[in-house]
């Protein structure tokens, strides 16, 4: 099954590779000799990416008081790691095309993902976790493995989605029965081939089994809960219409009272409109 | 105002795709092409979102299905269910 998982991902990688400039920027994370200015220079080689990034960091979603005009200034204000996460988010979203529309409405897919990202960010802030932006990106990208499955196994995916609608067995379990792996593992494998940071890999891989991971447990638990919350309050017609099973231990781990959920969702709703306008490809094109 | 479904002429010619933000110009052109009515999204209801349940029994059945994988005795799930119920009753399906 491991071989089949790698084959699936390598086929995707041929069609949905990240741009060279993004790969170079990602590799710089691990290079202790690379400075913020070096990273800025790499990104500035790609005017379209630079424009997208500046649009996002100047949006109300970030709410910085003064205008940010250059990538190096964005790195100073937003932080190197956060900016790299944003580069990944916007590049990954653009990397997927050719997904069968009868299986998934891409606007809905990214709306659910974006809402999950926003709820992750709000939960992380409430938990007083440092660098809440990491959580936003982890939530945004948690389901990208589903896109790989939709694209390369469309008939099986359609059959599994249909079964999930009328089943007491959750979608990710049906995927494992059919393929030997689920969409979380597929997303994680794709992220590894793209050299993405480990906390993003872990969040994608384990978002349906948050307590089975040893490292990055907080990130995984928060993305797991955000997925449950988003599925409950921001449902889409093309998904299974079921809220994935919540692991109560994840909720205990972040230690928030259940009656705080109203204000968490209210914060998420407020941030979602700004995030949608700044980040979603269809909103950008409008 | 957002177009909720593709607008076609009486002869079936596609004029404007669902999701387009309707302008005065669009409305004039649609009318000029013989379109008398179009479907629009109601505020707070994005394309493809499930329609609100018609009655309390339908709503409870739908919530039962939606939360079937979860322990509805857990405080978080109970709260989420309550919020879903109130959003549906208010005719809202999202928080825009």
Residues from chain A contacting residue B93 (CB–CB below 8 Å): 235
Identify the CATH homologous superfamily for domain A2-16+99-285: Hypothetical protein af1432 (1.10.3210.10)
CA distance, residue B74 to nearest chain A CA (Å): 8
B77 inside 8 A of chain A by CB: yes
Q: What is the mean pLDDT of residues A161-178?
A: 88
The region that residue A213 occupies, defined by phi over 0 for left and psi between -120 and 50 for alpha, beta otherwise, is beta
Report the pLDDT value the prediction gives residue A122, as an integer from 0 to 100: 96
* CA diameter of chain B: 57
Question: How far, in Å, CA of A60 to CA of A38, rounded?
Answer: 27
pLDDT digits (tens, 9 = 90+) for A245-265: 999 999 999 999 999 999 999
Structure tokens that stand for A259 in this block: 């009656």
Helix (H, G, I), strand (E, B) or coil at A286: coil
pLDDT digits (tens, 9 = 90+) for A134-149: 899 899 999 999 999 9
Nearest to A222 by CA among A75, A143, A118: A118
CB contact under 8 Å between A168 and B68, yes or no, is yes
pLDDT digits (tens, 9 = 90+) for A213-255: 999 999 999 999 999 999 999 876 545 578 999 999 999 999 9
% of chain A at pLDDT higher than 90: 41
Q: Residue A281 pLDDT > 70, yes or no?
A: no
Count Cβ–Cβ pairs < 8 Å, chain A vs chain B: 92
Q: Which stretches of chain B drop beneath a pLDDT of 50?
A: 43-47, 90-96
H or E element in which residue A193 lies: helix A183-193
HSE on the CB side for A180, CA within 13 Å? 7
H or E element in which residue A15 lies: helix A2-15
Residues in chain B: 96
CA distance, residue A251 to nearest chain B CA (Å): 8
Best mutation site among B48, B51, B63, B81 for testing chain A: the one with the most A CBs within 10 Å?
Answer: B48
pLDDT digits (tens, 9 = 90+) for A56-105: 888 888 888 888 888 888 888 888 777 877 888 888 888 887 788 888 88
A101 inside 8 A of chain B by CB: no
**Domain residue limits, chain A:** 2-16+99-285, 17-81+91-95
Here the ipTM equals: 0.83
More confident residue, A51 or A179: A179
Residues from chain A contacting residue B64 (CB–CB below 8 Å): none
Report the pLDDT value the prediction gives residue B47, as an integer from 0 to 100: 45
Residues from chain B contacting residue A259 (CB–CB below 8 Å): 79
CB contact under 8 Å between A242 and B69, yes or no, is yes
């Amino acid at each position: 099954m491991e071989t089949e998982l790698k084959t699936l991902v390598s086929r995707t990688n041929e069609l949905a590779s990240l741009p060279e400039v993004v790969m170079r920027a990602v590799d710089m994370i691990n290079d202790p000799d690379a400075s913020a200015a070096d990273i800025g220079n790499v990104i500035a080689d790609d005017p379209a990416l630079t424009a997208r990034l500046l649009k996002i960091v100047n949006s109300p979603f970030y709410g910085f008081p003064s205008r940010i005009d250059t990538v190096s200034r964005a790195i100073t204000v937003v932080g190197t790691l956060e900016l790299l996460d944003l580069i990944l988010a916007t590049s990954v979203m653009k990397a997927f095309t050719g997904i069968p529309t009868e299986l998934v409405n891409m606007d809905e897919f990214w709306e659910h993902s974006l809402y999950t990202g926003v709820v992750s960010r709000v939960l992380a802030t409430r938990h007083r976790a440092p660098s809440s932006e990491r959580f936003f990106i982890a939530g945004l990208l948690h389901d990208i493995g589903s896109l790989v499955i939709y694209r390369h196994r469309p008939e099986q995916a359609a059959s599994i989605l249909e079964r999930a609608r009328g089943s007491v067995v959750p979608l990710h379990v049906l995927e494992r029965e059919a393929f030997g792996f689920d969409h979380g593992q597929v997303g994680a494998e794709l992220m590894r081939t793209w050299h993405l940071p480990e906390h993003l890999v872990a969040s994608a891989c384990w978002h349906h089994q948050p307590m089975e991971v040893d490292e990055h447990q907080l990130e995984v638990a928060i993305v797991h809960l955000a997925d449950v919350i988003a599925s409950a309050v921001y449902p889409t017609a093309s998904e299974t219409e079921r809220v994935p099973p919540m692991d109560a231990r994840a909720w205990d781990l972040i230690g928030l009272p259940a009656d705080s959920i109203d204000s968490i969702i209210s914060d998420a709703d407020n941030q979602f409109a700004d995030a949608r306008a700044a980040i979603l490809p269809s909103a950008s094109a409008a | 105002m957002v177009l909720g479904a593709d607008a076609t002429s009486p002869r079936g010619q596609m004029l404007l795709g669902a999701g387009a933000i309707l302008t005065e110009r669009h409305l004039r052109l649609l009318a000029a092409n013989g379109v008398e009515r179009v479907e629009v999204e109601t505020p707070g209801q994005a394309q493809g979102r499930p329609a609100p349940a018609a009655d309390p029994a339908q709503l409870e059945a739908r919530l039962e299905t939606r939360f079937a994988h979860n322990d509805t005795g857990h405080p978080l799930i109970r709260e989420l269910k309550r919020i879903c119920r109130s959003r549906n009753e208010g005719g809202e399906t999202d928080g825009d």
